[in-house]
Structure 1
């Protein structure tokens, strides 16, 4: 969010390419724009102002960004701290992804320093302590901010607010970053970000040290200039802290340590702020900001929510129902058809935009059917010439609006449903069965005894028509295809030839199906079976699992052969990745009779923005008896 302009530029008029409504939120002004999108002012149904960020098209066109964005926003919605702006609504699947946060009436730290200069020491200590408390909550939710900078810290009357936490991680995964686009602001990056190595909560602590120096000095600690120059100084040179007040020197110096392990934790940062303030506990005066900065807060107070009549049309970037006129003309009701049940529901034709958390979102602005009030899931029911309210929850509604024109709608009394001619059918079936039992018993025995070859071929086909058989599967043994008299047991499944797929990069939340040729990662579960998948869990241990069969983690020294995988019985459907190391082997047996040996080769490099594991896959198709459908 950018609130960085002067008072005159805080609430900017919407321009021609700006949307007017987003999923039911009426946009009233443009607040600014940043590296990832534009920010608009809107209101909840109760009149509370909210800030809505709409992601730029170049990011929204990247499928991996959308997936990461959705994941990060869901995590951010769990962050509820005193010094964070809560995320209250979002949509990662619409034409343009967006999220809504509480609107904070206050300038950003960047705007305050640019307009009023350096801040006094007491203000800086309260600022840093508040940001550190926000980071405690953010890190506690498993999120690293990655883009903590002065424009992402807003100065409210009761303390700072940290915004946009975690969103930069979604951009890290896009194809844009691989083409040279830098995510994050170089001036406030940590050395490990500049070097493309491991990101951790200590990364945010380094940024917090830079924020403290910036607030106290009025300039960045590593100077300004080209991105490459600034990043070089961050990695190889010491910060310029000339003029930094002594009360802040230890705090800033420790936070700006090149080695992440040498930086203080956020709890230690709070303790350092308390020690520097000369108090055992920071005390927040009512007026913690300088008078000139505090005056900017009143200029950023959002006006009361505008009137909502007539309701605005629901338009881009999310698809919604077309606008309805406030008072549509009266329409005639055609004669009712004979009912097949006591009540016939009248379908509601209004599409509903994405439903946000209670108290927010499109419900206040969505158009309603004339004369019926708010649409309900069940719709009104037709019980005669009068439309009565819904049978489900919600207020009852009666059609007492415009007079009905045209011929009088006569509704005949409901007729009982016609009796089905089941009696005759059942009788005929019984006669046929009795005749068949008397004359065709021998035929039944012959058919059921019959040729076992077809049953054997059916099982070898995989047990499921949609589970495709690969062209690489070996031809059936001619000996197994010879006829038998049905009394001998089925011949054992022949050993198929293995098919190898080397260096398969399986991304987070992707899976493979052994029936595919070649075996390849996919994240679509509509046309393939999830035989083996990998999940990079944010809050719990990473895991691999299967939805179609059984897994066995082989012990060190066990030979990964077809015979081993056939004979192993230590089955599970989920294995935590911490349980195996590089070179570990997993046997996978699917219910369709396919078997695979999966060899773990390693994870994505730390510098790679994507999360994936690399595996080798050896497949024996139709290697075991498929499970029989129950």
Structure 2
């Protein structure tokens, strides 16, 4: 079992993990992601299952709950040989959860990362099994939407496709803009990336990507930041160099046009034609190293099933107790004394990984203390420098060390330095001088600012000169990019050619690096709850219908604002945007994602005049 832990299959439960859910005992963690945490659990009869608990943030969203309920009920109809069927679920409780059959095997992503690409016979059997799984999933009226190597598990008797349809529950929730991504960019179809309607053909495209990954160890559009891969998927052709000749039909799965992709039934026939021998899942379809790993996981799961279910006991009454000593007694030499684990408690294994507080009878104490005594209030280790009780009243200065009354001038005996509080008069004079200096500096700064404003004049919209327009430069040649799509939470830079959507882990796209034009939530939480289009330089102007969009117009208008709400825009609306690096852009709004589309994006045309004015580094 230790080896299994090292391979990342089973991880101990953490503090806050439940001990059981609806009668299912939780034994270990299998993984966690954007939607929640997956646990290894067991039915009352001891059969292993995978139980996924949904994140609290999603649980609190009514729209998510509604969609999750629909998708789980639909997923119950999927009972294929190459899927993990739904065993049980709860969509109405405080924390929704879903239980499926447990697959004792690594994901395709983990297997390729550890053992390298699969041999051709394994890839053909993998594709055939996945195609059969998609036939069953699509037959139940479900589109997977997030088919990727980590959602394909390798069992001893063939692959298993998991998490089918559940991504759709996240599509419509407001949380898609706050850290929960729907779909994986490297395996999205072009239409899914562009926010167009998603059909079963999108899953066939993802299957083609998974096939290339399984056979080569990398995707058809290379590696790198997700936004870069996504851009190549939409605008460039796949790189299939090094793919075995029998897998040439995979190129049809990666067609830009969904209508040109084969159906899952056609894929099954193509896999059979590409194989020199009839495709049969004989139980030895994987390389020996992966097969041995599966056997090890089956044994580890069986060991956990027979493990005791009791949680760790509370510390015994004789555990070290933190005492408050009598006044005047020196403090203990080590503050950590008494925080060490009591002897006899070995490091917990996966089996004994139940968190404190899992059962009511074993509540975790906050401070180690004797039985029946409430925890004592913490006392600071070092108080203010007040004299100890043995000092006589009077001046705060410490008494000098007494020297011997006779003999030559002795060397003074070293004593630890004692704090010498300053006298009240000295503190008062120091304070008065400090306040005077600060007031003088403030007055001088105000005078200089006033003189500067008198010399430069006021800005048109009342802002400070920090946002005043820099001096224009000779007219550069414009460059136009049409149909630029900016997903929610992304931004583009006008220096890029063509501008590509970018994102990172910032709380809002306006704080991205050189976010010349972003599309995100309203950062000021104003009454208008629609998203905004803005620029991190905060020099953006929405032109009126009477103003013609041009470089001259963008240089002349100065009604600068931080951002513009989507409710203020209609098709054809134009905005002038000035960047810190001296570029000026005319942005023409072409529209946003339809209301019935789960994706969220805007489409714009961008005309850029690069280096049209002096650059500025001011924030």
TM-score of the superposed pair, with normalisation by structure 1 = 0.48
TM-score norm. by structure 2 comes to 0.49
